[in-house]
Structures are given as C-alpha cells and as structure tokens.
Chains A and B, each alone.
Chain A
Amino acid sequence: MENLVTRYRNVTILMVVLFAQVLGLAMQVRRSTQDESTRLIRVWAVDAITPFEKSIVWFQSGISNLWHNYFYLRGVRQQNRELKLEIERLRIEQVRLNEDAEQARRLQALLGFKEQFISKTLPAQVIGSSGSEQSRSIYIDKGSHDGVRPDMAVITADGIVGKVLRVFRTTSQVLLVNDQTSGVGAVLEKSRLQGVLRGTPLGEVVLEKVMSDEAVQPGEKVVTSGGDQIFPKGLAVGTVTKVSPGSELFLNIRVRPAADLSRLEEVLVITQQLEKEPALADGGLPMRAAEILAQRLPSVPDRPPDDPNSPPPPTSGLKIYSAPAIPSPATGAKPAGSAPTAANPKPHAAAGTPGNAASSTNPDGSSAQPVSPPKPHPPAAQPSDHATNTTFSQPQPASSKSASPPTPPSTPTPTTQEPPQ
C-alpha cells in the first residue's frame, strides 16, 4: 500500500486537492449564497488586488482631471453658451413639469399610494471587475467604512447597474443586472406588465415572466417596479429590443440596459431610501379641516376630549374639536384619542385619505352638510390645495392670518366639497 501511494504520489495529491475543493464547493452550494464561510479568502484576494486598482484609478483620474480642467479647454465658451440656453429651456419645462407632478401627487394621495424616495446616495468609482465572463460583477471603491451594506442598489444617471453583493472594508462587490444570478423586479412603462429582469450566460438582459398573450412592442421602456425591495420604483432599466415566444407560456423579451454596463466608471450607491405617502405641496403636508379651522379660529377654546360636561364650542353648523397634535397622513401615524372627531375621524375613514375631512363626522354623529362649490381663492390660502377639500365661503388670504385680528368664530362657514373625480 505504501509503495502504491509513493508510486502514485502525484496522482494521489491531485486527487486529494481536487476532492478538497469539490467538498468545499459542495458545502458552499448547499448553504446559502450569502454564506460567509469563504469570506476570509475573499478578503485576502480583494485586499491584495484592489490597492493596485485604486492606485491606477486614482492616478488615471488625476491625470485626466489635470488635462481636462487646466489644458484642454477648447470649445468651453461655446459649450457654456449652449448650456445657458439649455438651462433656460429646462426652466420653462420645469414649470410645466411641476404642475404635472403636483397633479400626480394629488392623485396618488387620493389612492393612498406610498412612494419610495432616494434620500441618500453615495458616489463611488469603479475600480475593477471580476475578470470573468461567467461572473459579471464589478468592484467599487466604497465599503463598509463608507456606509455601504449588502443589497443596496447601485445606479448611474442612465439607469440601474446592480446591487451590492459583498462588502469589504474599503471596497464592495456589485453584482451587475446582466449576471445570470441577478434578478430585478421590472415593469414595462406603457403596458404596465410586470416581470423579472435576469441576466443570461452571454451577458444579455431579458425580462421574464411576462405572459405570451400580452402585446409587447420593441422600443418600449422598462423601469423598476420596486417589488424586489432593493431598487426604488420607477428607475430606468432599459429598452425592449426583441420580443419572441419563449418557453412555456411566457414571452422572451430582450432588453438593452439603459446604463452601459461595459463602460462603467462612476456609480451611485443608494444608501438610504424613504417610503412615505406623497406630500401635496413642496414642504407642505396635507391638512385636515380641523387644522385649517384651528388656524382660522384661534378663539375656539380647547376642549378636553374626555370631559363630557364642558360646553360645546361656539360654532355654527360644524362642531370643531381642537386637535393641536394631529399627525399628518404622510407619516402614517394616527393621533392618540378615542372619540371620532373632525380631526380624528372614524376608523374606517383612515388617515391619508383626502376625503376624510370632507366626510368628517361630528361628535354627535351628524355629518357636515355639503354646500356650494368654493369660490376662487388666493393660492397661498387655498385649503382646497390640500388633501382635505374643505373650503370656506369667505376665505382669507394667507397674509391676513397674521396681520388681521382673529376672525370671529361665526364668520367662516366650513363647507365641504366632493373630491375631484
């Protein structure tokens, strides 16, 4: 036996090394993909390679900046003039888009949608790749020290790039969307058909799980659906280039990524997302009828909610309970208190619904009576701009709230208006 091993020493060592690697591979496959048992080897390799890459990228960008910012300035004046013209054009367009956006927010608020906002991003430079055609991933120069965590979305100005797969101290590995192990929730922009975006072994991107009886046209844009809990909703993914019948009942939709994944230099890591219901105006939160009335009727005394003997406030028509600490619907929280009031309506009239205040119920169970449509108001004082459609028959400009004396309680008559259809 000993002679046999000695005679076949090389083959024996080969078998042992191969067996050890196959065993290790099988253990990794059996465990989850986020298995950290191989982290040490990966850290060694990344720490050995990435300093070279960082140095080269730093040197390269330094030279490039020096050249482009101090020497090669040909055509800059002309470009500056063109950019100024472009700014003017964009300003005009912005005004129109603001109007559209505001209308969209109002409609979203009506439907109680929640939006995901990118609240914080971290710019990062691409310093390396996996170096393999079978694994499409890149390395960026930001790691756990910079606040990067696994599963954070990585994007460019053009569209999505991928997600953070592994995080090291000063670098991170990003799995590109064209890797065959990646998956992104996506939706076709016009037809609103949802699918899963996957990479292929050849590095292409396809949209899967779209039924074959749906009509999808080449050229249609694809955006993120937000269903994967990684990418915020509505980010550009790419454009449909080819549609063909796929296996089983699904279409084979090929997508050209919006971001050029083969020429990535700088990316943004989305380090923080906020999910909230849309606000109706810039910086403003939806106001309820009671809030508006509380501002307009400073003389209305506060009434303890659990004091049944206190006299009712001197209002005509609608009885108002002062509720100074009303949380906005944007936070999703509801005010403390038990009795349904105008500020805290019945449970079925959930917070965040614009019609809450319009259908506000008095403590005695009677409903506010709807009256005639509102008259035009100055923009700053229009309660109808908010989620509540409560208006006043004698509105006051916003400036009068502080300058003019308090309005007598009986002067404004709160009215309600049906929400816009």
Chain B
Amino acid sequence: MPITYTSNEQIEVYRFSLPAAILIPLIALFLQAFIPLRFHFFSIFDLPLLVVIFFAVARRSPVAGLLTGAAIGLLQDSLTGHPLGLYGIAKTVVGYGASSLGVKLDVENAGSRFLVTLFFYVVHEIVYFTVARGLVGLTLQWSWSRELGSALANAFLAVILFALLDRFKQRT
C-alpha cells in the first residue's frame, strides 16, 4: 500500500474523549506489565509505544504528540527500576516525529501504519539506548537482528491494534 502525500487541507484531524485519552494509555501500561508474567514472549512488544504513535498520527499535532509521549513514557519509566526519563525522552521524540509525519503523510491505511510503526520503533530504541548508555550508564547490548525482529512484531501488532483503536476516534 503506497504512502500518499496529503496537503493540510486534505488531512483529517481526530480527537478523543477524555476517558479514552486516559484509559487507553493506562490499559496499555497495565497489559504491558501484566501479560509478560504469563506469556514471557510478550515483553518484545511495546504497547505504550504503539499507543503513543496512534495518538500522535491521529491528532496530527506535534505538541500534543510530544506531550502524550512524555506522559506515557514517564509512567512507563515509573514501573521500572531505572531512573525516570529513559522511556520519557524516547517517547517524546517518537510522539513529536509521528505527529509531524502524520501531518505530511496519509497514515490511515494498514501499509503505512506498518511502515510508520516499524520506523518509529527503531527510532525509539536508538534514542532509548543512547540515553541509557550515555547518560545513565547502563550496559545495554544492541543487536540489530533482535531489534528488527521486535520492530516487525510491533508493526504487525500495530496494524491490528490501530484498527481497534480507530473506534475511539472522533472527528473534529
């Protein structure tokens, strides 16, 4: 599916109800913390990241996107044993980038969603690793094969998840 360029007049901007805007990230965080206990392989997914990308490309507002990314990232950080800000910074960048991209491109179809998620997952991991190693001093090991595998898995999941979350969109 080709990614089509859209002008600002053509794009549609969506918004979300307050319960959806609060509960969807919380449910994503809950599932991310709970499911890997029973199904360990699930830890390769990053549901909060997918939610950040979804909100960013739907709202098409860079400021809203980066703030959403920062908030969800900091909440995700607070569940880990690491300092706050690792996921926060990475998801801020992703939220800004995805919303900026959403302004320029049509990301309503499955193919574009797949590619956007694939790209921003890798961006997210690069930013996370850079900050974690450079600023916090964590000894993380980068593996392209592992990261690309996780990116593909997340991209597939994103196509399904975004289709479900489309139900909560409201036209402005």
Name A residues whose Cβ lies closer than 8 Å to a Cβ of B. 9-10, 13-14, 17-18, 21-22, 24-26, 28-29, 38, 41-42, 44-46, 48-49, 52-53, 56, 126-135, 137-139, 165-166, 173, 175, 179-181, 201-202, 262-265
Contacts and interface: CB of A to CB of B under 8 A. Distances in A.
B145 interface: no
A49 B30 contact: yes
Contact of A131 (B33, B67, B89, B100): B33
B78 interface: yes
B63 A135 contact: no
Contacts of A264: 37
Contacts of A165: 81
B141 interface: yes
B83 A138 contact: no
Residue of A26, A49, A180 ringed by the most chain B CB atoms within 10 A: A49
Interface stretch (B12-20, B107-115, B128-136, B152-160): B128-136
B83 A29 contact: yes
Interface in B53-67: 62-63, 66-67
Interface residues on B, range: 35 or more
B36 A25 contact: no
Given A10-B100, A52-B30, A201-B139, 20 more contacts: A10-B63, A10-B66, A14-B93, A21-B74, A22-B85, A22-B89, A28-B85, A29-B135, A41-B84, A42-B79, A49-B26, A49-B29, A52-B34, A53-B30, A129-B43, A135-B82, A173-B81, A179-B81, A201-B138, A201-B141
A49 to B, nearest CB: 5
A131 B76 contact: yes
Interface string B31-59: 01110110010011000000000000000
B66 A46 contact: no
A200 to B, nearest CB: 8
Contact of A137 (B43, B70, B80): B80
Contacts of A10: 62-63, 66, 96, 100
For the complex of A and B, the 4 pairs showing the least CB-CB separation, nearest first, are A135-B80, A25-B85, A131-B32, A45-B78
Interface in B83-114: 83-89, 92-93, 96, 100
A126 B155 CA distance: 30
B66 A129 contact: no
Nearest to A130: B80
B89 A41 contact: no
B78 A38 contact: yes
A263 B29 CA distance: 20
A410 B22 CA distance: 89
A18 B84 contact: no
A137 B139 contact: no
Contacts of A130: 33, 79-81
Contact of B96 (A14, A22, A129): A14
A21 B136 CA distance: 13
B11 interface: no
Contacts of B30: 49, 52-53, 128
Contact of A53 (B33, B83, B92, B137): B33
Contacts of A131: 29, 32-33, 36, 43, 76, 79-80
B140 interface: yes
B70 A17 contact: yes
Contacts of A175: 81
6 contacts: A25-B135, A56-B34, A130-B80, A130-B81, A134-B140, A135-B80
Contacts of B43: 129, 131-133
A18 B92 contact: yes
Given A53-B34, A135-B82, A29 B89 contact: no
Contacts of A44: 75, 78
A21 B79 contact: no
B109 to A, nearest CB: 25
A14 B84 contact: no
A129 B44 CA distance: 13
B37 A18 contact: no
Contact of B76 (A132, A139, A166, A179): A132
Nearest to A48: B26
Nearest to A136: B81
A48 B33 CA distance: 12
Contacts of A134: 80, 82, 86, 128, 132, 138, 140
Contacts of B88: 21
Given A13-B63, A132-B43, A26 B135 contact: yes
